[in-house]
Amino acid sequence: MHRRLQPDSLDVHENMALIATVGRGMNRRRGVSAKLFDALYKAGINVRMIDQGSSEMNIIVGVENVDFENAIRAIYNAFFGEGEEDKL
């Protein structure tokens, strides 16, 4: 079956990496999103896309491929770096 769509516009962003931050209890903890985005900001990483599921158990961000490893490192250190073991 073929469907015809008529979108107002279509943007394609190449070379993006998607990173999912997932955790049980994220929906009951204030500041998880702030911590995630603050870590990316401090690492100088531009977030190109944001998605959060209705269950609020994950946050997915899109970053440039070249920023992928630094983004992973920044997120990990924000939640599990020294002295952070009990924060998530």
Tell me what pLDDT residue 10 has: 84
Domains of the chain: 16-80 (3.30.2130.10)
Q: Where does residue 85 fall: left (phi above 0), alpha (psi -120 to 50 degrees), or beta otherwise? A: alpha
- The answer to whether the Cα torsion of 46, 88, 23, 80 is positive or negative is positive
Cα distance between residue 52 and residue 45, in whole Å: 19
Per-residue tens of pLDDT for the chain, all 88 residues: 457 778 888 888 899 999 999 988 788 888 899 999 999 999 999 999 999 877 778 999 999 999 999 999 999 999 998 654 444 4
Rounded CA separation 88/86 (Å):
6
From residue 42, alpha-carbon distances to 11, 18, 79 in Å are: 28, 19, 14
The whole-number pLDDT of residue 35 equals 94
Cα 6 to the chain's mean position, in Å?
A: 29
